[in-house]
Amino acid sequence: MVTNAMNSMTRRKLLAGIGSTTLLSSFLLPFDKNAAAQSKPGSGQPAFIAARREAGELFSVAVLDPNGTLLFSEKLENRGHATTISPDRKKAVTFARRPGHIALALDLETFSRQQFFTPPQGLHFYGHGFFSPDGALLYATENDYENERGILGIYDTRESYKRLGQFDTHGIGPHEALLMSDKKTIAVANGGILTHPDYPREKLNLSTMEPSLVYLDARDGRLLERVKLPAEYYQLSIRHMAEAGDGSIWFGGQYEGNPADSISLVGKHSRGNEIVFSAPPKTFSHMKQYIGSVAASRDGKRIATSAPRGDRIAIWNSLDGNLLEIKELVDAGGVAASPDNPADFVISDGMGRIYQGGELLYQNPDIAWDNHLTSL
């Protein structure tokens, strides 16, 4: 069995030969739990939620307070993926990782499990979702695998997550979806990759992928706009995204073509315009053609993108699109807006660490934080 400690050691060893660039900041972080932040106001209140792997290949979702203290955790049958928080911050829902069939609703007031729920027969979750502005509805990205189409399932949060209906995402493989700040528009990242539970995680249409960014009317699911990538980027699966302060959508992709191809991985789209890549392909060398998470800072002026295979976090200026810095951090997957600093981010990694403002907030080498981190 591979241990986390082993992972940590060998990955650090692997990084030994990596050179630094002018933008590559040495992310000098304490490795001692004692160096974690002192007690802050609001401790005892939920601040961060993320899925994790515990020792013995057990999976769970954990809720931490602002000091990084574990408030409670709930077991998951299999690996979890992303968590979404209700607008009143009283509920959270964690989705199973693709092709999972389970979502877990948590009560953040009583620190307890509310319920598990599943999509109807013939569907599975893709791992992301969001609440309606009043918290009454939950939307989840799903695979209607027999009909080979992506959908947004709609659930009634006040009626035990009863299925109410669904919207077509107008593309295959919807992954992350969000409600934009106008509260009227849903943005969906259609990854473009066809999968079926008969062949778990096998990509069935690599030669004919059509990733897209889609905008839907939140009231009725009407298609407002569908944007495709340039033809030469047809194998860049758009997976994760965040809305910047100016209303533009920033996305991160995962490339399915030749690993030696030179490819931009992060782009930006404003309604009615073409997609613009944030930087030339050279900027993304060493990111291993894989962006794991995208988050906007609370002030909306910065975007963070993680590249766990390349052991890097990139921070972007969302206004002018410029790259601000690249941090080197082994197996860093989760990025979320910092509750403390409106311009900063919180970062989690596969070695059980969470960083905030360059400080170690949490560390437990027996666990691995999964791909996404959500802050309240």
Q: Which residues of this chain interact with another protein, rule CB under 8 A?
A: 1-2, 4, 6-7, 9-11, 13-14, 17-19, 53, 81, 97-98, 127, 148, 175, 196, 198-202, 204, 206-207, 239, 256-262, 285-286, 290, 292, 308-309, 311, 330-333, 349-351, 368-371
Least distance from another protein to the Cβ atom of residue 171, Å:
17
Least distance from another protein to the Cβ atom of residue 206, Å:
6
Nearest to 247 by CA among 189, 337, 180, 298: 180
Of 135 and 365, the one with the shorter C-beta distance to another protein is: 365
Least distance from another protein to the Cβ atom of residue 339, Å:
22
Least distance from another protein to the Cβ atom of residue 10, Å:
5
Of 7 and 69, the one with the shorter C-beta distance to another protein is: 7
Residues β-bridged to residue 294: 305
**Beta pairing class for 323-328 and 24-25:** parallel
Of 21 and 181, the one with the shorter C-beta distance to another protein is: 21
Exposure on the CB side of residue 72, measured as CA atoms within 13 A: 13
Q: How far is CA 346 from CA 4, 286, 353, 363, 374, in A?
A: 21, 22, 11, 13, 9
Find the farthest-apart pair of alpha carbons in the chain and give their distance in angstroms, rounded.
55
For the sheet containing 345-349, what is the strand order?
332-337, 345-349, 353-356, 359-363
Of 17 and 41, the one with the shorter C-beta distance to another protein is: 17
Least distance from another protein to the Cβ atom of residue 150, Å:
15
The set of residues, in sequence order, having a beta carbon less than 8 Å from that of 63 and lying 6+ positions away, is: 46, 48, 49, 70, 71, 72, 73, 92, 106, 108, 111
The residue whose two tokens read 């082993």 is: 6
Of 113 and 286, the one with the shorter C-beta distance to another protein is: 286
Of 318 and 371, the one with the shorter C-beta distance to another protein is: 371
Lookup: tokens for 290: 């894989």
Least distance from another protein to the Cβ atom of residue 194, Å:
8
